[in-house]
Structure 1
């Protein structure tokens, strides 16, 4: 497809690439033959015409919007077409350090190219306070952003080249803008495709009371937004400079999150209980009443997938997709762009392609293949306990201290001193490396038969500390026959946040830690606390001959503020093994037979 007056490049949120200014087709990658689930309508438009302009929203703030219209040559489609809206903080169009133009709509990572070819008008907006848009960003995915999306969606639906039906798509921050736009229930918004976003922002950003790498990086300097491409009418770039000057008033994101330790904290920046404002679960009824279709996507090697499953669980009739990859990477071996196109074809064009009646969940089971089920991962598993046993006292350098057994062992305890010297070479690590050299580890014998795990592992462990508070990190590792290990799930919990309660949404029976200030309390030194820690979801067959390992540490390399929060002397943590069924254990989600079937 050729975009008139634009340059083909790959761009999505945190990862961008660029290429030369030419009409270039997307090269196929070497991957398994994609799994398909039906047939979309035939592509009709070989080219695209782009324009850009400022659109004022209800408070008068002007937001930069790029419009891409399906075309033949330089002539846009004559008929009215449904719209796809995308809102980004990462700049819709900009020049990279080589001077080449990079634009989000020139990538198929979110199926934008596929949708343009299929006859959708795509609008990509810079959110207020970012890119070429005016205004200041009050908070991260706040109600202001939701209202802005409402206004731009309704503006798009009223153009003479669009129908009154609009869909929205995004992943990571863009997934959040998509989900929050749906909570505002614009009348023209009919379907959303939400990738790697959260249902409960406090439960995600400060999981277990501990902030990690998501959303805590420094804000970009003005030069980043100044590299944005001005809108068409801003021929001398003066409006871009004026817009970016307003961005100096943006609320700092890391400061915002670090400054609210409790779920009911009042932010010094926004003057309200900001976690409540940005909690999507509080607005789900608005999406349901509006009849907006929802599709949630995540990958198993990505922490937000835990929230994506819960989002689907709380939206009856929603769809769920999970691939094997990392953050926002289109799943290999699956017709990802075709799935998105079929989804919007049905809800925006009325195409009877059968997608609504297909299985609710489509997901990879690693070491097995693509599967489908009418239930979500986490809804069709039996909790099978493995018990922590046979450890020894020592320092944080004691590795492989204990064993992991299928039956309870005798009572005992294991202790270690928190090791803050954890690897931190990767600035934006989405996944932890094996941490067995930094705490206590409990390793199983080789499995005598394959074990299919689909869902959330949950660790139940009594812990005491030499200090009034400490952080506890738990990792589930798989070790193959050669000794190669990898983390397949992880979780975290501050001892002070140990209290559980009833969540205001469906948690799939996972433990929920309220994080309310009244529920957060120090743990007297030496006193035991029963911790319940849910780990990130998994979907894999652990082959016979492989081993499983549970590792417990007091620090994690993804803690950007580790240098500021580490205690001196370091806490000494003790894991208690009572013996019997209530002993320290991990409950593994073993898939029930017949709950899923191959996806043809």
Structure 2
């Protein structure tokens, strides 16, 4: 992922694909570092950097538990200004605090990336998962190790953590998983549509060549040989684009790769191994739904902050929480964290500004669905630029149509969250709320639609509109109409609508066929204040679709939303009293 620099006092914090690394200005005396190649079961050599607590510049003698991080974003490298960047010496994943708390911290480059040899067959495939197993067991055998290992990561690193846990290494006792999916297909091709950062272009070789060679590779010759092997990596975007259905066979991997990359298929191995799980997401981040499903499926703890992708929750002792968690499961410290409330999460707008709440239930469990219905526009039909009504009473029967708008403003390179789409589809807006409304959980859109194209895409957005007119998307979802057939999710998903994505379940929409569709939106946790309005938007394209030029249809599809009648189009809001 793209690196971006954020000011932090006198240092610079470098966000690297969901993991945080810090540009070190000077050596610190409280640890010693070594790096080397470790050979995994198929003979591939992976670069591992090991940081051990030290006193007086010498590594402590007693054995310590180990925290392992598996990254595609380089454990150590020099940035474009020549500064040394080390993932282990930042607290974005609490690694710096864990090192100070007496843990050995090990960061390895996955095969096909950084200074490691080999090439990527897929992304978070079983080869990579077994690599994680081998490295954990190797770390547990080292003379500085107690034999107990924990693993932490966010974004891709969270997925690497989740998949490694699914191989159940005997030494792995606890994992802390951030912003990762339990179901790769339902995340990357949610509703059958690719529409986020997973389809970004692959990095050039120069990125990996900026990695720091392992200690023994003084000339960098081994690094250059390793990076040459990366030229055989499977390209990420084409891999995902080439598998439209859950059972599609990839031309790159030769199998139904969505199944292989779906960690939900391996949950029994994690349960049977007794690995402790803690899941972390932020409300302003699309993977949080999948993070909640992981926590629900494995009875794990859950944390959610108000921020964006992999940003440590502000106003919360994140490093302390991570340290206490591993202290209990790796050091045996009786600090009560296993008895603490299961979920800690931010509620936006609570008590006016927002605050964290703690609960024995995951957010959304206590919500009840409150249907709000789509209604006609004041004085006429709903169309782009003329909102319909939105509220608790069913509106008059009617039909609202729009033509899909492909001429959309470009999205940010990493668009983890969409911008309001009211100008690019149909919108329905409520009156100003007379009292605050607490929404915690998953909104669900239940619509009846027709389309001129049998395979049209549908995007839905729930906005909060302030009294001054400023709008923000608070939840969103998407569905390819041909994949609307409902199915039962093979993991805990709060009973939300779920589509199989199987080729046999595809149902093209016949001309003028009125089809019911159900779409689970991303979860929300907020108090919508009195005076604000809620807006619901339906569109047929989204700026975050990187392949819009390729999938654009001529003529553009015409989509009609039916409202009123016996089964009125509506949104079920997750109301908490």
Change beyond 3 A, Cα 1:140–1:102: same
Compute the displacement of 1:528 (Å): 1.1
CA RMSD between the two structures:
1.3
State the partner residue of 2:16: 13
Higher mean C-alpha displacement, 497-506 vs 509-518: 497-506
Report SS of the residue matched to 1:472: strand
State the partner residue of 2:269: 286
Q: Which of residues 138, 147, 170 in structure 2 aligns to 1:164?
A: 147
Structure-1 separation of matches of 2:21 and 2:408:
31
State the partner residue of 1:333: 315
Structure-1 separation of matches of 2:339 and 2:568:
44
State the partner residue of 1:557: 543
State the partner residue of 2:248: 265
Does 2:237 match 1:254? yes
State the partner residue of 1:496: 482
Structure-1 separation of matches of 2:117 and 2:511:
52
State the partner residue of 1:63: 46
Measured against aligned partners, the alpha-carbon deviations of 1:146-184 in whole angstroms (never above 9, x if no partner) come to 000000000001100011100000000000000001000
Structure-2 separation of matches of 1:349 and 1:10:
30
Structure-1 separation of matches of 2:52 and 2:434:
58
Change beyond 3 A, Cα 1:80–1:17: closer
Structure-2 separation of matches of 1:301 and 1:476:
13
Compute the displacement of 1:268 (Å): 0.5
When normalised by structure 1's length, the TM-score is 0.92
Unpaired segments of 5 or more residues in structure 1? 1-7, 25-45, 594-600
Measured against aligned partners, the alpha-carbon deviations of 1:438-470 in whole angstroms (never above 9, x if no partner) come to 010000111111111100000000011111221
Contact 2:22 2:89 (8 Å CA) reproduced? no
Structure-1 separation of matches of 2:32 and 2:209:
24
Structure-2 separation of matches of 1:212 and 1:327:
16
Structure-2 separation of matches of 1:73 and 1:559:
53
Contact 2:14 2:23 (8 Å CA) reproduced? no
Contact 1:9 1:106 (8 Å CA) reproduced? no
State the partner residue of 1:22: 26
Measured against aligned partners, the alpha-carbon deviations of 1:494-524 in whole angstroms (never above 9, x if no partner) come to 1111111111112211001100000012111
After superposition, residues 59-208 of structure 1 pair within 5 angstroms as 59-208=42-191
Report SS of the residue matched to 1:181: helix
Change beyond 3 A, Cα 1:520–1:453: same
Structure-1 separation of matches of 2:67 and 2:308:
25
Contact 1:457 1:589 (8 Å CA) reproduced? yes
After superposition, residues 388-407 of structure 1 pair within 5 angstroms as 388-391=374-377, 393=381, 398-407=384-393
Compute the displacement of 1:12 (Å): 4.4
Contact 2:21 2:92 (8 Å CA) reproduced? no
Contact 2:158 2:179 (8 Å CA) reproduced? yes
Measured against aligned partners, the alpha-carbon deviations of 1:357-386 in whole angstroms (never above 9, x if no partner) come to 011110000011110111111211000010
Higher mean C-alpha displacement, 497-506 vs 530-539: 497-506
Compute the displacement of 1:23 (Å): 4.5
State the partner residue of 1:358: 340
Report SS of the residue matched to 1:180: helix
Structure-1 separation of matches of 2:79 and 2:298:
39
Unpaired segments of 5 or more residues in structure 2? 1-10
Compute the displacement of 1:401 (Å): 2.0
Contact 2:69 2:161 (8 Å CA) reproduced? yes
Contact 2:481 2:509 (8 Å CA) reproduced? yes
Structure-1 separation of matches of 2:557 and 2:367:
36
Contact 1:13 1:88 (8 Å CA) reproduced? no
Structure-2 separation of matches of 1:184 and 1:541:
41
After superposition, residues 193-592 of structure 1 pair within 5 angstroms as 193-316=176-299, 318-368=300-350, 369-391=355-377, 393=381, 398-580=384-566, 582-591=567-576
Structure-1 separation of matches of 2:321 and 2:539:
40
Change beyond 3 A, Cα 1:324–1:483: same
Structure-1 separation of matches of 2:344 and 2:206:
42
Structure-2 separation of matches of 1:578 and 1:479:
24
Contact 2:446 2:518 (8 Å CA) reproduced? yes
Contact 1:322 1:363 (8 Å CA) reproduced? yes
Report SS of the residue matched to 1:314: helix
Report SS of the residue matched to 1:219: coil
Contact 1:489 1:536 (8 Å CA) reproduced? yes
Structure-2 separation of matches of 1:520 and 1:230:
49
Contact 1:13 1:173 (8 Å CA) reproduced? no
Change beyond 3 A, Cα 1:350–1:18: closer
Contact 2:280 2:291 (8 Å CA) reproduced? yes
Report SS of the residue matched to 1:459: strand
Contact 2:22 2:90 (8 Å CA) reproduced? no
Compute the displacement of 1:400 (Å): 4.1
Measured against aligned partners, the alpha-carbon deviations of 1:336-372 in whole angstroms (never above 9, x if no partner) come to 0000000000000000000000111100000111101
Report SS of the residue matched to 1:151: helix
State the partner residue of 1:38: none
Contact 2:133 2:164 (8 Å CA) reproduced? yes
Change beyond 3 A, Cα 1:454–1:432: same
Structure-1 separation of matches of 2:500 and 2:42:
35
Change beyond 3 A, Cα 1:421–1:299: same
How many residues of Structure 1 are paired with residues of Structure 2 in the alignment? 560
